[in-house]
Amino acid sequence: MSKPQYSRVHKFLHWLSAAVIIWALTSGFYVSLFNVSATLKEWVSFINISLTTVYLPFFIARLYATQAYYRQMKGLHRKFADYLASSIHMLIHFTTATVMLTGFLMMDQAINVFGLFQVPHPLKDRVLITQFFTLHIWACGLLALLVLLHIAAVIKHEMCGKPVLERMRFR
């Protein structure tokens, strides 16, 4: 029995997630690790906060689509590699959720979403905000490592003749 196919919605949510996560991690690490102007830091922060806020409903839909996919696989005979891959994917989702939640909770001012609306900041306690900021940094580091691991696994599979990218291609 073959694995169930990903739906067009699942593929869209996967590639949207990839774009948002890679952009936010890359730009966030860039302005944090390199000496850049305060204007660039503010711009990247504004874009990342707005982008991830708008992305949140898509992330929730992705979690739902992923669970539906794994429910389809439940009755199939699965190899250890399938369990390992699904575990890594769940860890990526959990870490993404942690990054997004801590990013929200570390805010010390209202979240301005592309100038369209504002989300009030939830915390006033500076110590708690600082703790969420620290957790956010660690979660971003872990997420970057997991994304690199995911990309390396795709490259390894492709090089070994297992066309895993084919399953995520739009047809």
3-class secondary structure, 117: strand
Q: Total domain count for the chain? A: 1
Helices then strands, counting H and E runs in the chain, come out as 4, 2
99, part of any domain: yes
pLDDT in tens, 114-123: 999 999 988 9
3-class secondary structure, 171: coil
Residue where the block lists tokens 């870490």? 95
pLDDT in tens, 33-88: 999 999 999 999 999 999 999 999 999 999 998 887 777 766 555 676 677 878 88
36, part of any domain: yes
The pLDDT, as a whole number, for residue 77 is 57
pLDDT in tens, 85-144: 788 889 999 999 999 999 999 999 999 999 999 999 889 999 999 999 999 999 999 999
3, part of any domain: no
Q: What is the dihedral of CA 142, 144, 146, 149, to 10 degrees?
A: -140
Closest-CA residue to 171 (of 2, 34, 6): 6
Question: What CATH number is attached to the domain comprising 100?
Answer: 1.20.950
User: Which amino acid belongs to residue 105?
Assistant: L
2, part of any domain: no
